[in-house]
């Protein structure tokens, strides 16, 4: 074989290469779509755990999720949102009343924000609740952002 002679064209090898490249592209696109779709899943999961604890009337557990500190009772109070205020807001006499059902509807990360606003339907009410979950430490707070449908 000299420099000017081309190798024999192998149709099966070319087809296999084309299929392999196509599969790799599809896998990358699917992974990118899943990454985009579930980009706020950790924060939605925290909100889901929080509302599950409220639904089970575990207010101390819910407060631990709110602070992202399961052992908050063993430490001196360091939060500017004490448990008494939390119970008043989220307990049976709070704005939402006793929480009997909830559904995490979605989330959004406002631009320039360090967290995610999680939108929740509580007790099948038309008005939706929102909580803010910090992306870095998963502490929760009331949402400083308004959610527009």
What is the pLDDT tens value at each position of the chain, 149 positions in all? 677 787 888 899 999 999 999 999 999 999 999 999 999 999 999 999 999 999 999 999 999 999 999 888 888 777 788 999 999 999 999 889 999 999 999 999 988 889 999 999 999 999 899 999 999 999 999 998 877 76
Single pTM value for the model: 0.82
- Domain 41-142, CATH 3.10.450 — does that match? yes
Nearest-CA neighbor of 125 among 143, 144, 99?
A: 99
For residues 119 and 128, the answer to whether their CB atoms sit within 8 Å is yes
């Amino acid at each position: 074989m000299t420099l000017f002679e081309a190798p024999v064209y192998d149709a099966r090898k070319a087809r296999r290469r084309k299929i392999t490249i196509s599969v790799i592209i599809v896998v990358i696109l699917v992974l990118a779509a899943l990454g985009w779709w579930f980009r706020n899943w950790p924060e939605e999961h925290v909100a889901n755990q929080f509302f599950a604890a409220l639904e089970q009337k575990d207010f101390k557990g819910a407060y631990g999720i709110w602070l992202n500190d399961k052992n908050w009772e063993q430490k001196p109070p360091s939060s500017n949102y004490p448990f008494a205020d939390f119970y008043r807001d989220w307990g049976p006499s709070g704005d939402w009343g006793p929480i009997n059902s909830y559904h995490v509807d979605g989330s959004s990360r406002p631009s320039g924000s360090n967290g995610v606003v999680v939108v929740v339907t509580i007790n099948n009410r038309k008005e939706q609740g929102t909580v803010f979950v910090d992306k870095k430490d998963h502490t929760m707070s009331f949402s400083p952002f308004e959610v527009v449908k």
